[in-house]
Amino acid sequence: MFEKGKGHYVENLRIIQLCEADLNFVLHVIWGHRLIRHATTRKALDAAQYALPGQTCHNAVPHKNLFLDLSCQTLTSGVMSDFDATAVFDWVLSSLSIVTCQRLGLPKAAGLFMHNLLSNMQFDLITGFGRSDISYRNNEDPTQIGQGVLQGSSSACPIFAVNSDVSLSMYRKLCYGASFQHPIMGAYIKTRGLQFVDDTTGFLNGSCTLTTLSENTQKQDTLLEKANHNAQMWSNLLWISGGHLQYGKCFYYALIPCVDFKGNTIAYSSIHSNHPLMISHQNTTQHSINPISATRPRRTLGVTLAPDGSGKAQFKDINFESPTTMSQDSLIITDIKGKVGSILLYP
């Protein structure tokens, strides 16, 4: 168990299962190498999935930047929603994940092996006082089967990627997206979102510009209604697969590009939506996803990013504490800025 900086209670700790070396090697060969390679070479996974071998969270950042740049250049209003799921590896339904792996070619024997492994593994608690007398297994209570896919093992991330691929495919079919017309070819380039493990970003745009938004709020309301539909749908898809959103970490940007005639530039308007997206969980509890101004940076995918590209806001958000001698030595100032810049570009 590792601390997450949220307190020392059990529910605030990150639980990591450390597998025996031979078992972890077998899990890596079957799920981490053969299954993922089989799926990627046949392009069976959704293009929005970035949690694949050879890629990091930073590979998804240019996708977000491209959406923001095209929105500015085409003066197209849009919404960019960032969703964060809670403890994704602990909430995966193991039986369902085996079925999703088999649809991509996992042999039945390997699926039964994983099912028996997850169901019958016995967990004990070991502290400085010794081993606990009481143990736990996922199948002890048939009415409440335990969930999870061994976070820390070589098979955890591939299983989650394959399992969430079904949700991404349904999101692509059932939700609204963004489209841009190629200026020369005339073809439309469409995108709906991207995902890296538990971080998911949804893209949405419309044909209304700043002028029409101020004159006709109905179009803006329609755009936010579509954004609310997308957020509700992603929450439902997560719940069906065993997980749920961490609403306190979710947010969205309402992007309204406009022309700054004095500076001869295109930027996002300081006007932003004050209406939160309302999500109904199991048709009982209402949760809200709050909007954020396009000038305000947030750290997502390992990078501090402000939609309007404001470098000052990004530097300020890092809140780098400079030494007291900084005002006396210009060399120290240059060095500090260089270090902050390297954090922004290479986090």
- What gap in Å lies between CA 19 and CA 174, rounded to an integer? 39
Helices (DSSP H) in the chain: which residue ranges? Answer: 21-27, 36-41, 61-73, 88-91, 94-102, 108-120, 156-174, 210-215, 217-240, 311-318, 330-345
Cβ neighbours for 47, distance < 8 A, ≥ 6 positions apart: none
DSSP lists the bridge partners of residue 291 as 252
Same domain, yes or no, for 53 and 190? yes
Residue pLDDT, tens place only, 83-99: 998 878 878 888 888 89
Residue 324 pLDDT > 70: no
Same domain, yes or no, for 260 and 304? yes
Cβ neighbours for 43, distance < 8 A, ≥ 6 positions apart: none
- What gap in Å lies between CA 247 and CA 50, rounded to an integer? 22
Place of tokens 């069906």: 240
More confident residue, 232 or 343: 232
Same domain, yes or no, for 193 and 328? no
Same domain, yes or no, for 56 and 131? yes
Angstrom CA distances, 310 to 116, 237, 260, 302, stand at 52, 34, 15, 17
Q: How many CB atoms lie within 10 A of CB 237?
A: 20
Provide the pLDDT for residue 219. 55
- What gap in Å lies between CA 347 and CA 342, rounded to an integer? 7
- Rounded mean pLDDT of 302-309? 78
DSSP lists the bridge partners of residue 237 as none
Residue pLDDT, tens place only, 114-144: 888 888 888 777 778 888 888 878 777 777 7
Same domain, yes or no, for 289 and 335? no
* Closest among 203, 208, 206 to 231, alpha carbons compared: 203
- Rounded mean pLDDT of 196-210? 77
Same domain, yes or no, for 246 and 324? no
Residue pLDDT, tens place only, 235-292: 999 888 888 888 888 999 988 887 777 767 777 765 556 788 989 877 677 889 998 8
Q: How confident is the model at residue 314 (pLDDT cuts 50, 70, 90)?
A: low
Residue 82 pLDDT > 70: yes
Q: How confident is the model at residue 213 (pLDDT cuts 50, 70, 90)?
A: very low
Give the number of domains in the chain: 2
**What is the chain's Cα-based Rg?**
23
Determine what percent of the chain is predicted with pLDDT higher than 90.
Answer: 14
Provide the pLDDT for residue 329. 35
Domain that holds residue 316: 310-347
Same domain, yes or no, for 90 and 102? yes
Same domain, yes or no, for 88 and 181? yes
Residue pLDDT, tens place only, 26-45: 999 999 889 998 998 888 88
- What gap in Å lies between CA 102 and CA 162, rounded to an integer? 10
Same domain, yes or no, for 118 and 66? yes
Same domain, yes or no, for 123 and 258? yes
- Rounded mean pLDDT of 321-346? 39
Q: How confident is the model at residue 337 (pLDDT cuts 50, 70, 90)?
A: very low
Same domain, yes or no, for 99 and 175? yes
Q: How confident is the model at residue 1 (pLDDT cuts 50, 70, 90)?
A: low
Q: How confident is the model at residue 80 (pLDDT cuts 50, 70, 90)?
A: very high
Provide the pLDDT for residue 303. 77
- Rounded mean pLDDT of 178-182? 87
- What gap in Å lies between CA 79 and CA 297, rounded to an integer? 15
Q: Strand, coil or helix: what is 128? A: coil
- What gap in Å lies between CA 95 and CA 134, rounded to an integer? 26
Provide the pLDDT for residue 3. 59
Residue pLDDT, tens place only, 216-229: 445 566 888 899 99
Provide the pLDDT for residue 270. 57
Same domain, yes or no, for 343 and 293? no
Question: Rounded to two decimals, what is the model's pTM?
Answer: 0.79
